[in-house]
Amino acid sequence: MTRASNTQGGRVTVSKEGLPAWLDPVVHAVETVRPRQLSRFLPPEDGAGRQSAVLILFGEGERGPELLLMERASSLRSHAGQPSFPGGALDPEDGDPRGDGPLRAALREAEEETGLDPSGVQLFGVLPRLYIPVSGFVVTPVLGWWREPSPVGVVDPNETARVFTVPVADLTDPANRATTVHPSGHRGPAFLVESALVWGFTAGIIDRLLHYAGWERPWDREKQVPLDWRA
């Protein structure tokens, strides 16, 4: 079985069988990367934090490999208006947070937020759990291959402003890269793509994946984009 189609308590499969060759560097990165190579923010040792998962979904578009992203509604309490991967907190029915729970949650949330059909998604890897201090989420990034693409779009306008795909070629284009500067002084990678500024946790994950997959191109880290104080 190579498809993870059951999001309602059944077994969820992770498989690298039949992936396109261009995903090989990503698979290698997922298998070898260490938590601190991804982020300096790791889950609290005392087990605190709300367990959650995101789906990093690679597909094949008109311009080659692409990633699925969404823009969160501006009315949300946390990370409002930010582009992000589909995802959210684990529900009890998702199962064990240290087992299949994050896999099931990533698919369920992606279906709820973008309308995608989980049966067309092949999960092929899981990155180490990371931490978002500002919201207290412990996030498991789950990687998938959109083997059988399905229509996507905004399901609930109260949660999602838009759903879009970004060609990997645009993410690796040095002209689309910058460093964000938060009013707190925190600096991080950013991508100016599809009329959006992708920053924060999502940009950090994309940045590290591009780097460890060997897809990163030299870019001007001195090019800065200030973030509004409300961000």
What residue spans define the domains of the chain? 21-167
- Find the farthest-apart pair of alpha carbons in the chain and give their distance in angstroms, rounded: 48
Contact (Cβ atoms closer than 8 angstroms) between residue 89 and residue 137 = yes
Rounded Cα gap, residues 17 and 50, in angstroms? 32
Architecture of domain 21-167: Alpha-Beta Complex (3.90)
Whole-Å CA distances, 73 to 77, 134, 189: 9, 18, 22
pLDDT of residue 11: 75
Contact (Cβ atoms closer than 8 angstroms) between residue 90 and residue 7 = no
pLDDT of residue 115: 96
pLDDT of residue 231: 47
Task: Provide the whole-model pTM.
Answer: 0.92
pLDDT of residue 87: 95
Q: Which among 226, 4, 217, 231 has a CA at the least distance from the CA of 110?
A: 4
Q: For each successive 10 residues of the chain (231 residues), what is the average pLDDT?
A: 46 93 97 94 88 97 96 66 91 92 97 96 97 91 97 90 96 97 88 93 96 97 81 47
Using one digit for the tens of pLDDT, what is the confidence trace for 53-79? 999 999 999 999 999 999 987 665 555
* Cβ-based neighbours of 146, under 8 Å, separated by 6 or more: 57, 58, 59, 60, 68, 116, 120, 121
Rounded Cα gap, residues 132 and 200, in angstroms? 9
pLDDT of residue 138: 93
